[in-house]
Structure 1
């Protein structure tokens, strides 16, 4: 008889995330250092548990017209079909076509942070993305429609009481267009996601929020499909500038 317990394994995943975020909050006093530590916890979790076609990193996003996003705390991007990724002195720049999801990661959720995250997400979604027809042995498939880029928020705590209540919902509803936050996690309390069928946000309060969030994100990424075929020539033209 196996001595493994799936429920224990899944609980341990969340406990590890919560403990590491809590340690960063208690032990690190400089805001920048604390923020970097929080980002690192979430990036490490996503890099470890997402399928290997995805990679997570703190990065800037660029498009073929030369526009850049703001620096994003956590970018989930494609490493299987996107050949163009630039890294210099620990700064990572990824093409807009390769992006699946972007997250702002901080210690505590507030109305100001939600608004800030919405602006950061919008700065990525507004970038231009190319999509080329895909050649195959029998001919050519049409250019793939652009996948929606997921936007989200990752924190340890919430400043609101209750933590996942009407005030949080009100803040999320301020921007339901380019800055909409589709999914997020407050590791001490639960996770949230935008339910398009009901045109509203759903808040899930559970004992192991980080694990529940991870499963929800994987599910949404599965429905996103594969990133489009990038037009490398559109980026290559910048070599002559």
Structure 2
């Protein structure tokens, strides 16, 4: 008889995630340092547990027209097909075509954070993304449309009571178009995701961060693969 337990394995995964988030919250008193620690924990966790095709970093996003996004706390981007990632003076710059998801990460969710995250997400979605036809042995696949970029928030706590509900949803619903948030986690309580009707499903559970991780992976699976980037469009900047 097998001595393995899937329930125990998932509990261990959750304990790892939850304990690291709790340590970041309790170990630092300065708000700025605490915020940086929170970002680092989420980046580390996602980088560790997301499939290897994805990378995670704090970064700016740039397009081939020379436009830059705001600085984003957590960017999930393609590493398998991304031809270049810039690092300059400890700042990471990622081409817009490579981005799958962007998150604002803080210790506590409140109305200011949600609206701030909506603006940050919009600054990425408004960037221009190129797409080229993909050659293969039998010919060429047509250029694929840009995939949707998921946007969301990642926090440990919430200022609302209940921590996720009508108050949070009313702020989330303010964000439409490029400012729409799709998914998020309040690690002490649960996660939320926008459904097909445009409303938000709030899920309270015993293992919130782990449940969020699974939900994010599921969303990424169905989002497809990033388009083939037009390198020449970026290369034109070499002559300017």
Task: State TM-score, norm by structure 2.
Answer: 0.98
Gaps of 5+ in 1: none
C-alpha RMSD over aligned residues: 0.9
Question: What is aligned with 1:201?
Answer: 200
Question: What is aligned with 1:56?
Answer: 56
The correspondence of residues 105-120 of structure 1 with structure 2, limited to 5 A, is 105-120=105-120
Question: What is aligned with 2:67?
Answer: 67
Gaps of 5+ in 2: none
In the alignment of these two chains, the number of paired residues is 240
- Measured in 2, the distance between the counterparts of 1:109 and 1:127 equals 26
Question: What is aligned with 1:232?
Answer: 231
On the 8 A contact 1:154/1:184 being kept in 2, the answer is: yes
User: 1:151 Cα deviation (Å)?
Assistant: 0.3
- Measured in 2, the distance between the counterparts of 1:141 and 1:24 equals 46
Question: What is aligned with 1:14?
Answer: 14
User: 1:216 Cα deviation (Å)?
Assistant: 0.5
Question: What is aligned with 1:176?
Answer: 176
The correspondence of residues 101-140 of structure 1 with structure 2, limited to 5 A, is 101-140=101-140
On the 8 A contact 1:114/1:153 being kept in 2, the answer is: yes
Question: What is aligned with 1:165?
Answer: 165
Query: Which has the larger displacement, 83-92 or 96-105?
Result: 83-92
User: 1:2 Cα deviation (Å)?
Assistant: 2.8
- Measured in 1, the distance between the counterparts of 2:33 and 2:47 equals 21
SS at match of 2:174: coil
On the 8 A contact 1:62/1:68 being kept in 2, the answer is: yes
On the 8 A contact 1:18/1:156 being kept in 2, the answer is: no
User: 1:3 Cα deviation (Å)?
Assistant: 2.4
Task: State TM-score, norm by structure 1.
Answer: 0.97
